[in-house]
Amino acid sequence: MKTLGLALGLIAACTSASYAQEKTASNSVQVKPQNEIRVKQKTIMEKFEPEMVISVEGRTQMKEDRLAEIERGKQIIDTMDISERKKRKLLGDLYWSPYSDRLEKNMLDTKIVDTKFEEDDY
């Protein structure tokens, strides 16, 4: 009787292990590329106020701009001579609260503005 229970338990364990491996193998096949930018096609606000909603292309462009700004901020934070803990906090602020006081204090506005003065043209 003990051996029958032990055998059934062993069979159940092997079956569940093989099922779990099969499940993870099927999940790993459906990996989406990271560089694909996705936005919602329909929003709730579009149902009630369609003229106030930005188009899908506009939202995609806004998201691309935001991701480019995050990459630029990551490069700036990476070159700073500060502790790793502070870098992690700044990176968290960069993703989750881009207008935080801590981020504003530590990052310089490094955008290059090309200005042309009238005196330069002689």
3-state secondary structure 48-99: HCHHHCCCHHHHHHHHHHHHHHHHHHHHHHHHCCCCHHHHHHHHHHHHHCCC
Specify the pLDDT at position 122. Answer: 53
Cα distances (angstroms) measured from residue 7 to each of 3, 14, 17, 18 = 6, 11, 15, 17
pLDDT tens, per residue, the chain with 122 residues: 667 766 666 676 667 666 655 554 444 445 445 567 777 666 777 777 778 878 888 888 999 999 999 999 999 899 888 899 999 999 999 999 988 888 888 876 555 555 666 665 55
- What is the rounded distance in angstroms from the CA atom of residue 35 to the CA atom of residue 30? 15
Tokens representing residue 72 in the block: 């630029």
Specify the pLDDT at position 26. Answer: 47
User: From the CB of residue 50, how many other CB atoms can be counted at a distance below 10 Å?
Assistant: 9
Specify the pLDDT at position 88. Answer: 94
Type of residue numbered 36: E
Q: Give SS3 for 6.
A: helix
- What is the rounded distance in angstroms from the CA atom of residue 23 to the CA atom of residue 26? 5
Specify the pLDDT at position 89. Answer: 93
The answer to whether residues 97 and 103 touch, using CB atoms and an 8 Å cutoff, is yes
